[in-house]
Amino acid sequence: MPVQHAVLALLATKPAHGYKLRNSFEQAVGEQWGGLNIGHLYQILDRPARDGLIETDRQPQPVKPDRLVHHLTPAGRAELDRWLNEPSVRLRGYRDDFFLKVMAAAQLGDPETLAGVLSRQRTHLLRELHSLAEAAELTGQSPVTSLLLTAAELHARADLEVVDAAETTLQPGPLTTPAGEEPAAPAGIQAPPGQGLAGEAPSKQTSSRMRPSAVS
């Protein structure tokens, strides 16, 4: 679990209680990653505690309830090192809400519905790029936060290319084949110009919408 291991990394620096961990996490990764709910954090801490990766000391306070301070164990440091020495592998395929929406719009067979879905997605991504550009202009950001902004921009530009590819290749219509029929080609999809169905190399045509030079 990436968030769990990130918490282990924070505890490898020094022991901390829950709210301190949450604040340290949010400061380290920046706003683009998203906030960390304190209730979720306590759920995250529960598993490594059961596995002996962290231990907790109870510190009495004069007025407030006792403070629970967590620290990394040698087993926790070994698990953190193991995680850092492995590549990050996508475990659930390329699942994305946008692809389900595209599938639904194409399945309905209405060209205007499909075009509207793609147009609205492009507008959203352009606005996102604009917001990212504004965030990148802020000073005093950590190198990790700046890297996250760069990653978010690259993802948004790649998503714009997907929208453009969908406009080129998708045709509204049923995407499933009745039982007993052999599809000659993937239903609802046309091969892009220059690409046959037998696996010929695709042409390198690129729309200007795929690489916006500026976002306004």
Q: Are residues 80 and 98 in the same domain?
A: no
Q: What are phi and psi of 93, to 5 degrees?
A: 75, -165
Maximal CA-CA distance, the chain: 75
Co-location of 80 and 149 in the same domain: no
Q: Work out the pLDDT band at 91, boundaries 50, 70, 90.
A: low
Domain hosting 24: range is: 2-84
Number of folded domains in the chain? Answer: 2
Write down the pTM of the prediction: 0.56
Look at residues 84, 102, 125 and tell me which one is the last residue of a structural domain: 84
First CA to last CA distance, the chain: 37
Pairwise pLDDT comparison (177 vs 172), residue with the higher score? 172
Quick one: 63 and 98 in the same domain?
Answer: no
Same domain, 69 and 117: no
Mean pLDDT on 127-133: 91
113 — pLDDT class (breaks 50, 70, 90): confident
C-alpha dihedral (158, 161, 162, 168), degrees to nearest 10: -170
CA–CA separation, 211 and 120 (whole Å) = 17
Check whether 190 has a pLDDT greater than 90: no
Q: What CATH number is attached to the domain comprising 53?
A: 1.10.10.10
pLDDT, average across residues 64-75: 89
